[in-house]
Structure 1
Amino acid sequence: MRNVREDCVVVIDTLQNISPDLYEEWDPENELAAAEETVNYSDDSSDFVLLSEAVPDAILEIRYYSTYNFVGDRIEGYEEPVALLTKEAAAALLEVSEELKEKGYRLKIYDAYRPQMAVTNFVEWAEDTDDTRMKEFFYPDLEKDVLFPQGYIAEHSGHSRGSTVDLTLFDMETEKELDMGGTFDFFGELSHPDYKDITEEQFNNRMILRDAMLEHGFRPLETEWWHFTLDDEPYPDTYFTFPVSSESVSE
């Protein structure tokens, strides 16, 4: 198992809220109900591409292929440490990459397309309340039995529709990730993009990423600073089931 480290957050109270209408409205109960009413499953990967080819400057750190994630194990369906997206989402992400590269940044990808089997893995993990191996790193302020009812874990994920990406920024000068004031997949208010109790620099770093993603057609999520979905996603009602691997998109 990989070594893990705690992220240190410098807390000050200097930032102002930004308008919530800039963010994707998220109600886990409504989202789940809508998914159950309209869900279609598909194993057709013909409209997906490898991000390593579509966005060659992106750095990949696929957390669900590793054991450094909130589960503590490699997640089902992640057969290789690669990232897949629909062609439309990948093309828009390339525009983001090119814009930010001019400012000295590269994109670092944590997750992109997520197969339904991985989401099912999350649900099964959430139901096992005795397994709290990664609590101190990802949900220190929450009991595990609230993760599902509070919407941190759900039976369907927008990632399975193929046009959602989790990412951060990598500074090419310092050769380090930008300090976002909180780690990827941390469950809590610290992960909200407009969270106030971080430094001004950390907040501004979040906004660099957010502004670039919005400029090129992605919408943010009000509960996760790293999460963005292509606004005009091509498969809004389809949840894909093929595994994350290069073979899934090979011709």
Structure 2
Amino acid sequence: MKKLVLFVFLGINFVSFSQKIPKGFVYLENIAPTIKIELRYLSDTNFIGKPINGYKSNCIIVTTETGELLEKIQQELLKKGMSLKIFDAYRPQQAVDHFVKWAKVLEDTLMKNQYYPNVAKSQLFKQGYIASKSGHSRGSTVDLTIINTATEKELDMGSSYDFFGVQSHYSYKKISQKQQENRMLLRKIMRAHNFKPYENEWWHFTLRNEPFRNTYFNFLVN
């Protein structure tokens, strides 16, 4: 399915049709329109501090199986006055390449204080924060949190999204009881719907038995 996008620039409307995504993928808004989206890599609100290659519009693309399960999770949360909020899902290989290229430029530490204050940039590869391949590029991995639908505020998880440090590990104990409960809430509902958590990032989950286990895609998020 092609997605119609309307742009407004200097009072002029532009209509653009995104590329046809591969078979087996969906635009999440087409099957789960109530899930909130904040695609961090489309903006400069990320650990690099600038938009990332391959992200062209604020939309979430996932495998069909992933999207259908996310919608089921969303319906459960809505009954409790909560909602999913997704920061990243399918990630083009060119975006991963952008991360790798950035990581090699050691003097570029624009966002260090916010995202990796206690980790030397030279250690980002060794400690597993940056890699040349990402499960996101297979289309069944999502980075997400939970928000309160009344306030639209994110639940306090004890560290921010994409924070490189032990504070983001699920098992980190130097956070409040409420923060631990919020992490557990997200983890429990994701695991109940066949998603596998990543222990070092409370926000990161991958669909078990993902359909493209050995394929890394490079089409645009558009």
TM-score > 0.5 by shorter chain: yes
Q: Counterparts in 2 of 1:197-216, with a 5 A limit? A: 197-216=174-193
Report 1 or 2 for greater relative contact order, CA contacts < 8 Å, sequence distance ≥ 6.
Answer: 1
Q: In 1, Cα distance between the equivalents of 2:47 and 2:129?
A: 11
1:1-251 counterparts in 2 under 5 A? 45-245=22-222
In 1, the alpha carbon distance for the partners of 2:115 and 2:22 equals 31
Alpha-carbon offset, residue 149 of structure 1: 1.7
TM-score by length of 2: 0.89
- Per-residue deviation, residues 152-203 of structure 1 (Å, max 9, x unmatched): 1000000000000000001013331111111000001100111100000001
Q: Please give the secondary structure, in 2, of the residue aligned with 1:170.
A: strand
After superposition, the C-alpha distances for 1:196-250 in whole angstroms (9 at most, x for unaligned) are 00000001001111100000110000100000000120011000010101xxxxx
CA-based RMSD: 1.1
Secondary structure of 1:185 counterpart: coil
Structure 2 unmatched ranges of 5 or more: 1-19
1:78·1:243 contact (CA, 8 Å) conserved in 2? yes
TM norm structure 1: 0.79
Query: Contact 1:44 / 1:240 at 8 angstroms: preserved in 2?
Result: no
Counterpart amino acid of residue 192 in structure 1: H
The alpha carbon displacement at 1:150 in A equals: 1.5
Deviations along 1:93-131, one digit per CA (max 9) or x if unpaired, are 111111111111110000000000000000000000010
Partner SS, residue 240 of structure 1:
coil
Identity percentage over the alignment? 51
Q: Which runs of 5+ in 1 are unaligned?
A: 1-42, 246-251
